Amino acid sequence: MSSTPALPPAPADLTAADCAQQLKQLFPVLFGGAPKPLKLRIQADIQERAPGLFTKQALSAFLRRHTGSHAYLVAVTKATHRFDLDGAPSGELSDEHRKVAADELTRRRANQEARRALEEQQRLNRATLLRDFQSTTLTPANFCALKGVALEELDGLLAIARREFEERARSAPPLDRERRIGRHVPDATRRQPHGRKPG
């Protein structure tokens, strides 16, 4: 067994981030580089090799975060063995555990795609709201009733939509940007804040 550097006892409020830093110092082969699948019951090994340095709660919190990270789950799907505190193989990684990691990555990917789709739909809804607001002759109250938007939320939604339009215009290729800007830049001055055309 390799010797470990002497560290001061862990404070009662040791955080998962503190644990991560100390574990990198104590066991750099296992915790200092790219994630490796951990030997089963590694927590007991850590407490045995570094007694009194980690509270059970802090170490458990760190291990939950570490083994739940994207990089760790990817490592589990690709590895054939688990590793001990010195970075030596310590038991085969079961097909079941690889499948659990792969399923979790698939679930997270699906959730991310669903979030992106929702965000894009919300952006399109705001863009449509802004476009319609620019041309409506309705009062703000009637416009909001028609669109199913709370009157007190209208100005905020329009401000976000204008900002998103400007961001898209800035990031568009030069020719496309010129067409967009020349065609219809949403202009806050085209309608008064309360939806009435200047006259």
Backbone angles phi, psi at 112, to 5 degrees: -65, -40
pLDDT tens digits along 50-100:
998 998 999 999 999 999 999 999 999 999 999 999 999 999 999 999 999
Domain boundaries defined on the chain? 16-93, 117-190
pLDDT of residue 195: 47
Look at the domain 16-93 and name its fold: Fertility Inhibition Protein O; Chain: A; Domain 1 (1.10.1710)
**DSSP-assigned beta bridge partners for residue 92:** 81
Percent of the chain whose predicted confidence (pLDDT) is above 70: 80
DSSP for 154-194, please give it.
HHHHHHHHHHHHHHHHHHS-HHHHHHHHHH----GGGS-TT
pLDDT of residue 174: 67
pLDDT of residue 14: 80
Q: Where does residue 91 fall: left (phi above 0), alpha (psi -120 to 50 degrees), or beta otherwise?
A: left
Spatial contact of 92 and 39, defined as CB atoms under 8 Å apart: no
| Ranges under pLDDT 70 in the chain | 1-13, 174-199
pLDDT of residue 180: 52
